[in-house]
Structure 1
Amino acid sequence: MSSCNAQAETIEELDAKIVLLQNKLAKRGEQFTSLVAEVRKAQSNGMSEDEQRRYDQKMREASFSIRTIERRFDHVWDKKLNLRQLGGN
């Protein structure tokens, strides 16, 4: 019985991590959308090569951050599914 409780707590902890990662992903998505709008505005005003390189770097960093959060989310989600299959709540 105590092992079921331990699994339930673990699943609850994983649920909490999932919510945090979803929130973090939503925030990064909003930041990325703002960055895209900023880039489009700068492009319409004419961009120097230095500005283009800076924006390219910002876009790469933002994309990497989003992918990293997505991988963490997938990992936590898989752990939760595995626990459920093992008889957790």
Structure 2
Amino acid sequence: MTMKIALLAALGLLLGLLAGAAAGIGIGLVWTELMNSSQESESTLVFFTLMPLGAVVGAIGGAVVFGVIAIGDGELRIEQRPLNEREY
């Protein structure tokens, strides 16, 4: 059970990292388009500030979300009743 939680948290970390970096690039491009900035400051802002920031936030968020899902999955046990006791 503990290994499952750790693996899902690691998967969430990786997927959150990728999604956060992509979101950071998207937000940076929208920001620079709205502010009409120059080409040099645009690339610096997007790739050295917003992309790493988005990647860190996404990685932490993804690991937490997947970890919580994995922990909650272990606690949910559905009891199944025999067929003759079920209501239809």
What is the TM-score with the length of structure 2 in the denominator? Answer: 0.44
* Structure number with higher helix proportion: 1
Bigger RCO (CA 8 Å, 6+ sep): 1
What is the TM-score with the length of structure 1 in the denominator? Answer: 0.44
